[in-house]
Amino acid sequence: MQIILIRFLSAIAVMLGVSVIVFFFIHFIPGDPVEVILGETARLSDREALREALGLNQPLMTQWLNYMSGLLQGDLGTSLYSRQPVTDIILQRLPDSAELSFAAIIVGVVLAIPLGIWAAMHKGKLWDMATSSFMLIGIAIPNFVFGPILVLIFSLWLGWFPVSGRDGFLSLVLPAITLGTVMAAILARMLRSSLLEVMSEDYIRSAHARGFSPLRVMFRHGLRNAMLPMITLLGLQLGGLLAGAVITETVFDWPGIGRLTVEAIQRRDYPLLQGCILFISAIYVVVNMLTDIIYQQIDPRIRCAA
């Protein structure tokens, strides 16, 4: 219980630090942010109005206090482009992001587990080399290369799926594969090495000696233990999905939070940009915290050591 509390408090401390960096975003802009947003030809009255709307006419400390008190109430400011509250805009896009993330997780896990097991079972043989090089390639190909290749083959040549946009299940397939394959490659690599480590343990030898079938030893004795490090990695991957989706959503014109971030940059909508970055990081931090806690709960060795 104490560990959970400590983990929780440290997550809050990290988020506080993140919010400070995000708060300073607008001050990172070289020159006058108001001029950058409105352009050099803007009227003085417009400039002053925007300066006031952004709170830039106030002392830094007051700006920060206003920002933080807004944050604590779930108020991320108002979008400069659409004039809507940033929180509403993000929540509007959340279902689309969640849908894509969920589909990518399924693709990632469904690909990774059999591949990892397959490679470990055939260690050093041709099958292992084939799956291992697939994993290596999967990690080395960035989303913005893999996505267009999939579009070319499956949308333009074969015509199975739409090129982009969000319109029913079929439009989800290619973005999910793009986002999920990298995850699958990373997870499968980890599973392979962790399985190989576990399979050299004494209790695996004992299980073999007791005459259990190799498959039973692999699944009941090996896989269960090999899955433990996967939980941490899966947590990291899950938390990072929204960030990875920034590029994938741009490739496929998918209306999620990732593309919202890019739109915010293109429109110089800084409050919206701040909101998106803060939101994505918060999800990352929370998922990582939960992963740590779950990991401690299911692995008795760590629970006892801590």
Partner 1 sequence: MIKVMRTIPLIILVSWLAVVLFEPFLSLDPNAINLEQILGVPGGASWLGEDDLGRPISDRLLTGAQVSLFVAFSVMSVTLVVGTIIGIVSAWLGGWVDQTVMRITDVFLAFPGILLAIALAGLLGPGVGNVVLALSIVGWVGFARLARGQTLLLKNRDHVVAARSLGTSSFKIIIWHLLPLVAAPLIIEATFAVAGLIIAEAGLSFLGLGVQAPSASWGSMIRDGARYLLVAPHLVMIPAIALFSVVMAINLLGDQLRDRLDVRS
Residues found near partner 1 in the complex (CB under 8 A): 10, 13-15, 17-18, 20-21, 25-26, 28-30, 36, 136-137, 139-145, 148-149, 151-152, 156, 239-240, 242-244, 246-247, 250-251, 261-262, 264-266, 270, 273, 277, 280-281, 284-285
Closer by beta carbon to partner 1, 109 or else 139: 139
Q: Give whichever of 85 and 148 is closer to partner 1, judged by the CB atom.
A: 148
Closest approach of partner 1 to the CB of residue 209, in Å = 30
CB of 235 to partner 1, least distance (A): 11
Q: Which residues contact 264 (CB under 8 A, 6 or more apart)?
A: 81, 270, 272, 273, 276
Q: How far is the CB of 74 from partner 1 (least distance, A)?
A: 19
Cα–Cα distance between 109 and 129 in angstroms, integer? Answer: 20
Least distance from C-beta 137 to partner 1, angstroms? 8
Please provide residue 161's backbone torsions phi and psi, each rounded to the nearest 5 degrees: -130, 155
- In this structure, what is the dihedral angle of CA atoms 301, 191, 197, 224, given to the nearest 10 degrees? 50
Nearer CB in complex with partner 1: 218/281: 281
Least distance in Å: CB of 40 to partner 1? 14
Return the number of the residue (66 or 132) whose C-beta is nearest partner 1.
132
Question: Residue 289 CB, nearest distance to partner 1 (Å)?
Answer: 11
Residues with Cβ within 8 Å of 125's Cβ and at least 6 positions away in sequence, in order, are none
Q: How far is the CB of 9 from partner 1 (least distance, A)?
A: 12
285 token code pair: 């931090």
Which residue, 180 or 217, has its beta carbon nearer to partner 1? 180
Q: How far apart are CA 258 and CA 244, in angstroms?
A: 8
CB of 47 to partner 1, least distance (A): 19
CA atoms within 13 A on the CB side of 135: 28
147 vs 104: CA distance, rounded Å: 13
User: CB-wise, 144 or 219, nearer to partner 1?
Assistant: 144
CB 112 within 8 A of CB 184: yes
Least distance CB 241 / partner 1 (angstroms) = 8
Of residues 208 and 267, the one with the C-beta less far from partner 1: 267
Q: Which is nearer to partner 1, 8 or 144 (CB)?
A: 144
Q: Which is closer to partner 1, CB of 20 or CB of 294?
A: 20
CA nearest to 275, candidates 105, 81, 103: 81
DSSP state of 159: -
Residue 183 φ then ψ, to 5°: -60, -45
Which distant-in-sequence residues (6+ apart) come within 8 Å of 274 by Cβ?
Answer: 22, 23, 25, 26, 76, 77, 86
Q: Where are the alpha helices (DSSP H) in the chain?
A: 2-23, 25-28, 33-38, 44-53, 60-72, 86-121, 126-140, 143-150, 169-198, 202-209, 214-216, 224-252, 257-266, 270-298, 300-305
